[in-house]
Chain A
Amino acid sequence: MSTTHFVSGTWNWNGKAAGVLATGLLLFGATTSAHRIEKHFTVEPRAVITIHNPNGKIVVKAWTKHEVMVIANHASDKVEVAAEQTGNRVDLRTQQLADTVAPDDLRADYEVSVPEDAELQIHDDSGEVSVANVLGDMNVETVAAGVDLEDAAGYLTVKTVGGSFQCIRCAGRLEVSSISGSFRLLDLRSYHVRAQTSTGNILFDGEFLPNGIYRLKNYSGVIEVRFSAGDSFDLSATSLKGPVNNEAKLTPPAHPQRLSSKFGYALGTFNAGRAKVELTSFDGTINVRKRN
């Protein structure tokens, strides 16, 4: 594999650079930076792209080329962006060049275009991560950064400490965990969803696929699940110390089950019970709402 072309440089504040920078600003929206690199890597199917960034915005989009294009911007001389290819893997990393770096100096923003079957491994402590139209497996880890996925598929694992997570029109298998982040899972077509947060809210507004398993769990906050009249699922909703508000008309289970909660619970089958839906909270509220 080889780098097809490479553009890198530090802008000097002369008239020409200012003009080019103005064009750059138009291309990059509000991102202002003194250092910009652009790299292109030719890859084979199912390439792996890793991004490790302590602070900043990471935007990944799929395109139809068999190529990875990286555009990275950073303002400080105290960090650099390293972009390397090893076999079918492309590694992108923000590296600290000085022993002490001020918080703002750590920031680097990435725009990455990848083939749609690419596999992504992203680590971004703070800032934000946004991925669209990538169908390969994906692992995203952040501390405070929020994560937005759109039209993703494959095996998606997302872990944040405090960052929120949103997934729109995702398919495949989704596992997401956080401590205080909230989750919004919209128009999902996943056959396996496991979402767990401690104090965050969880909204699930998607399809319950036959034989799908949907496990949503938090400690406090609200878990809200929306269903349609034609959905088919077995529901087990339990809040140890909080209420469960259920609008689904359930057929009670054939065999009595031991209940963990004296407070809120809803157990039973909706239509044929093809999917399995488990909602668990410690003292949060669980809402099972009929979709309008």
Chain B
Amino acid sequence: MATIGCKDFPDYLEPWMEGDRHPDALAHVRDCPRCRSLVEDLKLIQATAQEWGRTESEPPAHLWNSLRAQLVQEGLIHQQSIRRGWLTGWLPSLPRPALAGAYLAAVIAVAFGLSGPVNQRINRARWLEGTQNSTTPLRAQFASAEMNATPPSLPDSNPTVTASLHNNLAIVDNYIVLCEKSVNEEPENELARDYLFEAYQQKADLLAQLSERGGDGR
């Protein structure tokens, strides 16, 4: 019989993902399909992250649905922020070659968002550490995607479009910096986390568009 409940389980998640599985958490995961599913999803994210850059295969559709449901349940995002046309509307419209990368960016952002309540419940320092741990690889992935998306030697057949994409990328980058600052100042603020989450999605979408156009806005 498990001695911990769903509310406590997130406290065990971080060590769990590092291989340190507490007996209470193990017992709970055995009994609770919801938390078992969460663990499986996070493992899949981890595996996908390791694969990124080596493959362009499309990740399973159920992964996002499951994470989204979890986020809504956790109250990290509102139903309105995942309606057709914003988040769910974006991902299917991403070009195939860039889909894996953009998807990964989104799911890492999701994982970052997911770590919020875990760390909040522990303390501010751990939350901030969690933020850093989550965003550092994300930034590295974005930097790499950005380099691939903007090869300098290609001719520019539509400078208006290229300029617009780059200007908006700069806007979103600035927006990410300010949102991160705000999240660091008030880790418990749901609205600030929502804005940061959306900024990462926007960046992933812009990089996907640049990548599809070979970096020159075609």
Binding site for B on A (CB under 8 A): 54-55, 100-103, 106, 125-126, 141, 143-144, 157, 159, 161-162, 175-177, 179-180, 194, 196, 198-199, 215, 219, 238, 240-241, 260-261, 278, 280, 282-283
Q: A240 vs B206: C-alpha distance in the bound complex, in angstroms?
A: 25
Asked if residues A159 and B89 are in contact (CB atoms below 8 Å), the reply is yes
Q: A125 vs B206: C-alpha distance in the bound complex, in angstroms?
A: 13
* Nearest B residue to A125, CB-CB: B161
* B203 nearest CB across to chain A (Å): 10
Question: With contacts A106-B157, A240-B182, A282-B179 known, is A194 near B80, CB below 8 A?
Answer: yes
Q: A40 vs B203: C-alpha distance in the bound complex, in angstroms?
A: 41
Question: With contacts A143-B209, A177-B85, A280-B191 known, is A101 near B80, CB below 8 A?
Answer: no
- Chain A residues with CB below 8 A from B190, complex form: 260
Partner of B86 from the list A106, A177, A198 (CB cut-off 8 Å) is: A177
- Chain A residues with CB below 8 A from B182, complex form: 240-241, 282
Give chain B interface residues in 134-188, CB to chain A under 8 Å.
155-161, 163-165, 167-168, 171-172, 175, 178-179, 182
Asked if residues B157 and A101 are in contact (CB atoms below 8 Å), the reply is yes
Asked if residues B161 and A144 are in contact (CB atoms below 8 Å), the reply is yes
Asked if residues B195 and A240 are in contact (CB atoms below 8 Å), the reply is yes
Asked if residues A143 and B165 are in contact (CB atoms below 8 Å), the reply is yes
Asked if residues A161 and B206 are in contact (CB atoms below 8 Å), the reply is yes
- Chain B residues with CB below 8 A from A282, complex form: 178-179, 182, 191-192, 195
Does B202 sit within 8 A of A, measured CB to CB? yes
* B83 nearest CB across to chain A (Å): 6
Asked if residues A55 and B160 are in contact (CB atoms below 8 Å), the reply is yes
Q: A179 vs B178: C-alpha distance in the bound complex, in angstroms?
A: 15
Asked if residues A126 and B171 are in contact (CB atoms below 8 Å), the reply is no
Asked if residues B191 and A54 are in contact (CB atoms below 8 Å), the reply is no
Does B124 sit within 8 A of A, measured CB to CB? no
Partner of A161 from the list B85, B189, B209, B218 (CB cut-off 8 Å) is: B209
